[in-house]
Amino acid sequence: MIARAVVLPHPPLLVPELVPGSVESTEAVRSACLAAAAELAAAADQWFAVGPGAGARTLGARARGSFAGYGVDVPVALSRDAAGAAEELPLPALIAGWLRERAGANSVRVRLVPPEAGELADAAAELAELDRADDRLGLLVLGDGSNRHGARSPGSQDDRAPAFDDAVAAALGTADTAALRAIDPVLSAELGTGGWAPWQVLAGYAEPGRWSARMLYSGAPFGVRYHVAVWERG
């Protein structure tokens, strides 16, 4: 069964070695992510992660990679016994592995989901199937908010971004699956939101009224809004 779920962003700035001049300014979101990951590890030693991807793909727990493509060769493994040559892993898998290592969990498998209705439904169905299994599992949902907060943001300023992400934060912080499902995919894309597909998978899987949530962090330190929430079974 899925014992606990956490919702996190997946920017490279979570890794201190990648932002040597900005470690202090990124500490708040990093600390929140590490705290959420620690709560997930306390509930389950094995994780399943859902993250955004251009195409559907599942990465097994024995995969290994590195943040070298982001400037520093920080190695990452998706499990304690990962073996074989390192491969080029997508960013959600790298962050999932990095968080796993720091939280002390045994393994994480990563499913990348494109923003397509059929793929979202298949991923939600897989979570439901995993929920029926006997093994305890931690669910990691990876995705960023809008990248258009402020004039210096990566996507340039859009005045619709604050209200959009405030609504996302309210939904994630109260386990409001109906509100998550109601997020406009067109507006989400226009605002450069990376988390829409994973949030839809979570909303499609989680039964309304059976989960409670706590928001640990919601902010936009570099023009991208990041949300960190912990979901518990009610």
Q: In sequence order, what are the residues at sequence separation of 6 or more whose Cβ sits closer than 8 angstroms to the Cβ of residue 192? A: 146, 147, 148, 154, 155
Total-model pTM: 0.96
CA distances from 7 to 21, 41, 231 (A): 26, 14, 8
* pLDDT tens-place string over residues 71-109: 999 999 999 999 878 899 999 999 999 999 999 999 999
Provide the percentage of residues in the chain whose pLDDT is more than 70. 100
CB 110 within 8 A of CB 92: yes
Tokens of 28: 């708040």
* Other Cβ atoms closer than 10 A to 177: 21
Query: Alpha-carbon torsion 219, 225, 226, 229, what sign?
Result: positive
224 vs 234: CA distance, rounded Å: 31
Query: What DSSP assignment string belongs to 155-168?
Result: T---TTHHHHHHHH
Q: What tens digit of pLDDT does each residue of 135-190 get?
A: 999 999 999 999 999 998 999 999 999 999 999 999 999 999 999 999 999 999 99
Mean pLDDT for the chain overall: 96
Please, what sign has the CA dihedral across residues 10, 12, 15, 16?
Answer: negative
> How far apart, in whole angstroms, are the C-alpha atoms of residue 225 and residue 232?
23
